[in-house]
Each structure stands twice: as structure tokens, then as C-alpha cells.
Amino acid sequence: MPEKVIPIRLAAPPARAPAPHYAGGAFADTLGRPLRDLRISVTDRCNFRCVYCMPREVFDENYKFLPQPQLLSFEEIARLARVFVGLGVKKIRLTGGEPLVRRDLERLIGMLAELDVDLTLTTNGSLLAKKAKALKAAGLKRLTVSLDSLDDATFKAMNDADFPVAKVLEGIDAAAAAGLGPVKINMVVKRGVNDTHVLDMARHFRGSGHIVRYIEFMDVGSTNGWRMDDVIPSAEIVRRIHAEFPLLQADPHYPGEVAERWRYADGAGEIGVISSVTQAFCRDCNRLRLSTEGSMYTCLFGQNGHDLRSLLRAGADEDALRDEIVAVWRARGDRYSEIRTAQTALPEAARLRKVEMSYIGG
């Protein structure tokens, strides 16, 4: 029986001197990257157990999720978001775990919708049919739904919660009807599991306006048993689709856009590929993640967070919060996807222990 892997949580960094005062103006990290995108995890809980994110053998019935008082309240999240937007953040993505399992999420969305920001959310779609209208009414602009296959048996095996495809498709339709479309649909592609379903997804969503993004299976966290052999390179995915539906490469909407865009030559829409493993895009990564407990992670494959919650709850004012955020960003040098090979070449026990994706959002 392999040794049970205990996911890591916030390792509180040692107390440190107040951050140097930030006097305003543009700022960048050590690789010249600006801060533009903020991903906020509103819960570490989820009603799925996707094998590449929250494997059930680790996140089982004994797993201790974060108690409510340790989560940032909506008021704390909104206050931090206001500071981040003041520092140049243009897009906020709400994530989890599964964000829609957090009660009254519409209330938080209403608070964030007051900010001048592109407000979006990533969901597994399980609660979307019921909630789409309210999310839109609260001010959500658009959303992304994770759907790893149209084949029910495969999808249920991957979400490990016996959840049917039909209900997610219903949620996507409800989101479109509520005005949250076009919906982006994320498919994590794993060799020998769902890679033969890549074309089914393309056939199903072509011409619908929705955009399927094919994601290379990643070594997020330290519990999903990642192997390079299980990765289908994006170039292979594009080749497979192009063979049936000719594709033309399209320009990114903005620098640092995660998905590489490919348009159907016949005008039936587009797809995207997210190639963190085979085509690292760290050079213009402008994303910061805020964990459910209020810690900043400067990389999806990060190890330690930078605790903002203690500052907040110790009564820090906006200046102090700004100083802290800018200091953390300015010290950032992450580029994990560029060093992955060196890392994954190490024996498992010697590899970096990375924070779980379900804790900081994708």
C-alpha cells in the first residue's frame, strides 16, 4: 500500500518586517512581468473528486477541510480585491475547489461587480443550471466550465462523483441562456483516459459559439500521480482536430493569455490549447492566486503562500496591504513550467512539495 500523501497547506512564513512603502506607479516582478490577473479561491471544498486534482484516496471522508472562520469572509475578499484592482489587476477569476458550493456566492459577486474588472468564474458545472441566472444578475460577466468528456462512463470515472455529462451540458445551456456565454469549456486531456474523446468535444461544440480549451495534464500539487507519459502534447491535439477540421492559428487577445487560440478555417468558431507542460508560458505570466485562507501564491506550482489574512485581521490599512502585495510581487521569480523537467527528473521524495490546486484554484 503506497504511503498516503498528505496534501500541504499554508506554511506560514516567518514573521517579517513591514514591507517597504509603495509610492505608486508601475511595478513588475523580477522577470519584468506586471500583475494583471487575480484568481481567488473561495473554498477548498468540492462536490467532485477529479482524479487529477482531488483524488479520493487523499481527499476522503476523513479529510479535514478548512473550518469557516479560517476562510476569508466576503467582506475581506472584496476589500482585498479593491486593493488589487487599484494596483492594476484587470481580471478576477473566482475558483475553488468548486466555487458554487460556497453559500451566497452571489453576494460576493455583487460586491466585486462594483469594481472595474473583468469578473469571471471557473466551475465544474454541477450547480450551474440552478444558479446561472442569479450569477448573471449579481454581475458575473462570463464563466468557464470544466468538462473532461462527453462519454458518461469516462466523465464519471474522471470526476469520481458519479456525476452525469447531461447535467453539465444543461448548466452550459443555462449559462448561455442567462447571457454568460460564450462559455469556455476546459477539458484536461490524459493519455489512455479521455484523449480519444478530443474530437467528440470538437464536433459537439463546433458552431455553438462556446470555446473548448484542451489542457495538458499537469503535475499540479503533490497527489495526482502525474507522469509525463500520461501527457498528450497540445501539438498532437491540434494535429488530430486539424485532420478533420482545418485550423488556423489566431492571435492572443492580450499578452499573457493562457490559451493558445486556433480558429476553424470554415468559420465554425475556435478552440484553445493550454500547454503548461510542452510549451511553457511563464515568460509573460501575470497571474497571482489568493488562497481560500487569504494567502498569495505567485505560481500555480508554488510551495509557500504569503499570508494577507493576518495583516487584514490585525487591522492593517490599505497602504500596508498595498505595500505587502507589491513587495511580494516585486520579489517574484516563478517560472516552474520552464524548470519542470529538472524537477520531475528527481525521485518523487526529492521533488518540490507543491500546494494543491484545489486549495488555490487552477
The residues binding ligand SF4 (CB under 6 A) are 276, 281-282, 285, 287, 299-301, 334-337
CA Rg value for the chain: 20
CB of 62 to ligand SF4, least distance (A): 30
Q: Which is nearer to ligand SF4, 48 or 301 (CB)?
A: 301
Q: Which is nearer to ligand SF4, 206 or 340 (CB)?
A: 340
Burial class of 265 by CB neighbour count within 10 A (0 to 12, 13 to 18, 19+): exposed
Q: Which is nearer to ligand SF4, 149 or 234 (CB)?
A: 234
In whole angstroms, what is the distance from residue 232 CA to residue 18 CA? 45
Instruction: Tell me the backbone φ, ψ of residue 3, rounded to 5 degrees.
Output: -60, 135
CB of 327 to ligand SF4, least distance (A): 18
> Residue 335: what residue type?
R
What element of type H or E holds 165? Answer: helix 165-177
Q: Which is nearer to ligand SF4, 159 or 224 (CB)?
A: 224
Beta-bridged to residue 39, according to DSSP, are 93, 289
Omega prior to 252 cis, within 30 of 0: no
Q: Which is nearer to ligand SF4, 31 or 177 (CB)?
A: 31
CB of 5 to ligand SF4, least distance (A): 21
In whole angstroms, what is the distance from residue 196 CA to residue 200 CA? 8
CB of 276 to ligand SF4, least distance (A): 6
Contact between 194 and 158 under an 8 Å Cβ cutoff? The reply is yes
CB of 246 to ligand SF4, least distance (A): 29
What element of type H or E holds 279? Answer: none
Beta-bridged to residue 212, according to DSSP, are 185, 271
Q: Which is nearer to ligand SF4, 59 or 281 (CB)?
A: 281
Beta strands per DSSP E along 148-279: 184-189, 211-216, 247-250, 260-264, 270-274
Q: Which is nearer to ligand SF4, 136 or 340 (CB)?
A: 340
CB of 301 to ligand SF4, least distance (A): 5
CB of 73 to ligand SF4, least distance (A): 26
